């Protein structure tokens, strides 16, 4: 199959997600016992804070998930990580991890600028991949990874954990059931005072708010509208290193709906989401990236509150106890793989392509260029 055939099959230029398919599917049903006889066997690529919390979220689910090996550029770091979680194998290179026949799927948790290289490495070794978001810093890299996943016939998913929270499942239910009426507006705000963190401030490290906080905002737009906007504009400020610090993206959708996404790495916002429909609105009051509650307000301004719990866990977490909810995305990946799927409908390849394109559009408006060849 030629590259251009693959490209056609991937619908790389198609931007519509089908809401009838993508939004109506329940994300995970933990009560279903799948037929796969063995747990999903994980390899862990990199040993940073998020890898720690991901593995912690799997502990206690031995029947479904087994962490088989962990790799780092430093064997010492890998060993230390393996010891903490009683993982059998530690590797001092990612190539060794890629070659390990005991591994079904690799969780890629390296720094954003390394995602392309690591995803391609594992995919080419026929491993399934769950890659921390953002899967890539450019549309071109995202498409290259997806083409490779298609070519090697492996499961690939961008790790947008937000998609798999029970709160989001209930919200999608309210939207798709018609209870909300036609969606007229999405207002999503995410600001955290993190501009001093090197990973955020430095262009060399893929910095800026866009590919960190901004991805969550764009995911909400994809989840709510299930398609690409007809028009998008981003207005904001860059820092002295040339990456974004504060911005607002406005996206217009067919039918007269609007999404307004505000982002800042300079101040702590409320981190809330409002989805406004013709019959009422949904308010996620905070924590839009790991929502545990929301309010449904009908046209008579009557409120109903919904509250959800995170998965119980006796582990300690680097980013906070709510990160036990990373289990949801791992379990979603397992269930999709057990069914023979190559992508998960709630974070499909099309969704990832759309995410990459919307972030790149914003980057173009803001004039954030990774290098001289980028965004000619």
Rule CB under 8 A: which residues touch a copy of itself?
184-185, 187, 189, 191, 193, 231, 233, 235-237, 245-248, 250, 252, 256-258, 260, 262, 264, 266-270, 274, 276-278, 281, 283, 299
Residues counted in the chain = 376
Nearer to a copy of itself, 74 or 278 (CB): 278
Closest CB to a copy of itself among 259 and 330?
259
Pick 185 or 197: Cβ nearer a copy of itself: 185
Q: Tell me how far, at minimum, the Cβ of 214 lies from a copy of itself, in Å.
A: 14
Shortest distance, position 193 Cβ to a copy of itself, whole Å: 8
**Residue with smaller CB distance to a copy of itself, 247 or 328:** 247
Q: What is the CA radius of gyration of the chain?
A: 20
Provide, rounded to whole angstroms, the least separation between the CB of residue 245 and a copy of itself.
7
Residue 316, Cβ neighbours under 10 Å: how many? 9
Q: How far is the CB of 297 from a copy of itself (least distance, A)?
A: 8
Closest distance between a copy of itself and the C-beta of residue 312, in Å? 24
Residue 52: CB minimum distance to a copy of itself, A: 24
- Nearest approach, Cβ of residue 97 and a copy of itself (Å): 39
Query: Of 250 and 293, which CB lies nearer to a copy of itself in the complex structure?
Result: 250
**Residue closer to a copy of itself (CB basis): 225 or 247:** 247
Q: How far is the C-alpha of 258 from the C-alpha of 232, rounded, in Å?
A: 10
Q: How far is the CB of 233 from a copy of itself (least distance, A)?
A: 5
User: Quick one: 258 or 341, whose CB is closer to a copy of itself?
Assistant: 258
Q: Which is nearer to a copy of itself, 159 or 191 (CB)?
A: 191
Query: Burial of 83 by CB count in 10 Å (0-12 exposed, 13-18 middle, 19+ buried)?
Result: exposed
């Amino acid at each position: 199959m030629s590259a251009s055939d693959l490209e056609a099959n991937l619908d790389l230029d198609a931007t519509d997600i089908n809401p009838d398919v993508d939004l109506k599917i329940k994300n995970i049903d933990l009560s279903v016992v799948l037929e796969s006889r063995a747990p999903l066997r994980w390899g862990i690529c990199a040993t940073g804070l998020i890898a720690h919390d991901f593995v912690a979220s799997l502990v206690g689910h031995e029947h479904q998930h087994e962490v088989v090996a962990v790799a780092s550029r430093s064997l010492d770091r890998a060993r230390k990580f393996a010891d903490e979680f009683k993982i059998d194998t530690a590797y001092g290179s990612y190539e060794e991890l890629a070659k390990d026949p005991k591994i079904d799927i690799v969780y890629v948790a390296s720094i954003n600028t390394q995602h392309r290289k690591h995803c391609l490495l594992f995919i080419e070794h026929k491993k399934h991949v769950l890659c921390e978001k953002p899967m890539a810093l450019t549309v071109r890299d995202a498409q290259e990874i997806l083409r490779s996943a298609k070519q090697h016939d492996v499961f690939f998913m961008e790790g947008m954990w937000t998609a798999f929270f029970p709160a989001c499942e209930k919200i999608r239910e309210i939207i798709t059931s018609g209870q909300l009426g036609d969606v007229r507006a999405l207002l999503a705000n995410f600001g955290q005072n993190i501009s001093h963190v090197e990973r955020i401030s430095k262009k060399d490290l893929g910095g800026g708010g866009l590919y960190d906080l901004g991805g969550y905002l764009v995911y909400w737009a994809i989840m709510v509208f299930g398609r690409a906007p007809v028009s998008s504009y981003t207005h904001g400020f860059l820092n002295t290193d040339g990456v974004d610090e504060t911005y607002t993206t406005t996206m217009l959708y067919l039918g007269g709906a609007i999404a307004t996404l505000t982002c800042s790495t300079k101040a702590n916002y409320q981190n809330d989401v409002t989805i406004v429909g013709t019959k009422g609105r949904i308010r996620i009051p905070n924590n839009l990236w790991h929502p545990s509650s929301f309010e449904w307000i009908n046209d008579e301004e009557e409120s109903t509150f919904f509250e959800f719990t995170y998965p119980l866990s006796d582990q300690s977490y680097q980013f906070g106890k709510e990160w036990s909810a990373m289990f949801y995305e791992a379990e979603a990946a397992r269930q999709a793989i057990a069914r023979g799927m190559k992508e998960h409908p709630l974070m499909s390849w099309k969704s990832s392509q759309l995410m990459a394109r919307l972030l790149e559009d914003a980057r173009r408006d803001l004039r954030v260029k990774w290098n001289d060849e980028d965004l000619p």
